[in-house]
A and B are shown apart, each in its own frame.
Chain A
Amino acid sequence: MKPRQKRFVYIIVAIVALGAAVGLVLYALKNNVSLYFTPTQIYNKEAPQGRNFRIGGLVEPGSVKRQSDGVTVHFSITDNSRSLPVIYKGILPDLFKEGKGVVAQGKIEADNLFHAEEVLAKHDENYMPPEAKDALDKAAKTKSDAASAVAAPATGK
């Protein structure tokens, strides 16, 4: 082999070996690299007990309740299979909405509530004008209406 072919092979081998090593390290660190735990993971006791961690999911629709003092908010974070009640005192980000993504940092106290110190909004990667969003929502609604209209007579019989 010519020296330059040798160097080429060395570099390819080095990149492959390094890639594999980094891959294994990242695989081992899997849980540490993730920013938050899902409600299901917390239910399965995978989250750290008695110290701060982050929880992420969707704000459960219909769960947001503000206390009369104006700054304390109760809501639930859900991943559509488990949900966890959260209490937070402070200003919520503008994008905080029912059914939308949220990441909260804090810990579970003795009252089984997640006491959040910080609440961040997580938005999705879809960008569209409001009219297109309305049209999509309408289409989804008529579809679900149609589905329930079809389902209703079936259950009626």
Chain B
Amino acid sequence: MAINWFKYSAPSTFYWLAGKLAPWFAWPSAVLFAVGLYIGFFVAPTDAQQSEAYRIIFLHVPASIMSMFIYLVMACYAAVGLIFNTRLSSMMASALAPTGALFAFISLWTGALWGKPMWGTWWVWDARLTSELILLFLYFGFIALHASIDDPRRADRASALLAIIGSVNVPIIYFSVKWWNTLHQGSTVKFTGTSMHAAMQQAMFTVLVACWFYAIAVALARVRSIILERERNTQWVAELPEARS
């Protein structure tokens, strides 16, 4: 069966597809959050070094991974929008930015809450923490730049450039703990495997998948409102049942 992918690069068809897909990501996400956090808080054993305080890792690490991953996806969408002049890709980039910013904020916030009891400080200007803060500012910059230009297509191009340029920060965040002396510990999740007990791993990866599904569901829902907003003067929007009422 051949699927015509280009059919769904038109906002009018993708609007319908996104509406159909979003619930299929939203509900599994809720279930996976419940399962992952249950394993994390009730099944996973205490840690030898940090006893119970380490459990914030089940939010901290998935949020951090998502904040970096979403940035790269956003930059790819922005680049595709710039290269192929497709409106939908730029709309997807705009739809992902607030979710990425949320995850970056959660990562910094849970990190501070974890740092105070374990390290003895809320914040330290080491390379890992600073580069993650820059990532949050890049998300804010992307959103603000897009909002400050009235013409949506010009706004897409300007903010796409910012997204692409900012993507050099992502490998810096990831490798910061390797390249420099930092207070932040090294990566637990490496390309070669993890240095973590099995039940802890299950909890962390379940929450990670839940975050992933959440991000997809929210981005699809958000891109639908962006499509409606930008295409409000078109015939197909005027004919939508939800628009006619």
**Interface residue ranges, A against B (CB under 8 Å):** 4, 7-8, 11, 14-15, 18-19, 22, 26, 30, 33-38, 56, 92-95, 103, 118-134
Contacts and interface: CB of A to CB of B under 8 A. Distances in A.
B6 to A, nearest CB: 14
Given A119-B120, A122-B119, A127 B168 contact: no
A116 B188 CA distance: 30
6 closest A-B pairs by beta carbon, nearest first, are A129-B45, A93-B120, A133-B48, A34-B181, A35-B126, A125-B185
Nearest to B166: A18
Contact of B185 (A33, A120, A122, A130): A122
Nearest to A129: B45
B96 to A, nearest CB: 19
Contacts of A128: 47-48, 196-197
Interface string B163-182: 01101100010000001111
Contacts of B127: 33-35
Interface in B13-62: 45-50, 54, 57
A131 B45 CA distance: 10
23 contacts: A15-B164, A19-B168, A22-B172, A26-B172, A26-B179, A34-B127, A34-B181, A34-B182, A35-B127, A35-B182, A93-B120, A119-B120, A120-B120, A121-B120, A122-B119, A123-B119, A124-B186, A125-B186, A125-B187, A129-B45, A129-B46, A129-B48, A130-B48
B83 interface: yes
B121 interface: yes
Contacts of B185: 122-125
A127 B195 contact: yes
B91 interface: no
Interface of A is mostly: mixed
A22 B46 contact: no
A35 B124 contact: yes
A95 B50 contact: yes
A125 B50 CA distance: 11
Nearest to A21: B168
A95 B50 CA distance: 7
A129 B188 contact: no
A79 B179 CA distance: 17
Nearest to B195: A126
A22 B167 CA distance: 11
A35 B47 contact: no
A36 B180 CA distance: 9
Nearest to A93: B120
A94 B118 contact: yes
B85 A4 contact: yes
Contact of A56 (B57, B120, B181): B181
A121 B119 contact: yes
B187 A132 contact: no
B124 A120 contact: yes
A70 to B, nearest CB: 18
Interface string B123-145: 01111000000000000000000
Nearest to A6: B83
Given A125-B186, A127-B196, A14 B164 contact: yes
Contacts of A26: 172, 179
B47 A127 contact: yes
A34 B118 contact: no
